[in-house]
Amino acid sequence: MPNEKLLVESLASPKEGQRILQLKGPVTLATVFAFQSIVRADVTPTLILDFTEVPYMDSAGLGVLVATYIAYKKSGQKIGLVGTNDRVRALMQMTKVGELFPTYPTVAQAQEGLG
């Protein structure tokens, strides 16, 4: 599946201090580097990652999520996930990574829940 791409789009948030990144495509070793660069450079107090259009994620994607969580935790930033499908949730639950992230069904609920 080397031809697959991950599109990361920044969406406007009506809430001050929140940034929404909408991911479209698989989060894998082949696609994760641009995503990693974007989240590493982010200084927004609250980041919402919309996984609604992510069909699957591999261990490289999971690693980037964990590294992002650690960096955000150290800097006092908040991070939440939206719309993870059964396949992504299963990977996160199996590895216990799911316990690190508040997860919401919709962007609006994440915006409210993360304040």
Cα–Cα distances in angstroms (integers) from residue 43 to residues 46, 62, 76, 86, 89, in the given order: 8, 21, 10, 30, 26
The predicted-structure confidence for 13-56, as pLDDT tens digits, reads as follows 888 999 999 999 999 999 999 899 999 999 999 999 999 999 99
CB atoms closer than 10 angstroms to residue 85: 14
**Phi, psi of 56, deg, nearest 5:** -165, 165
- What confidence tier does 115 reach under pLDDT thresholds 50, 70, 90? confident
**pLDDT tens per residue, range 64-108:** 999 999 999 999 999 999 999 999 999 999 999 999 999 999 999
At residue 59, the 3 state secondary structure works out as helix
Encoded tokens for 68: 């992002």
In three-state secondary structure terms, 57 is: strand
Which residue segments constitute the domains of the chain, with CATH numbers given?
Answer: 7-110 (3.30.750.24)
Nearest to 79 by CA among 53, 105, 52, 42: 42
Q: What are phi and psi of 13, to 5 degrees?
A: -115, 135
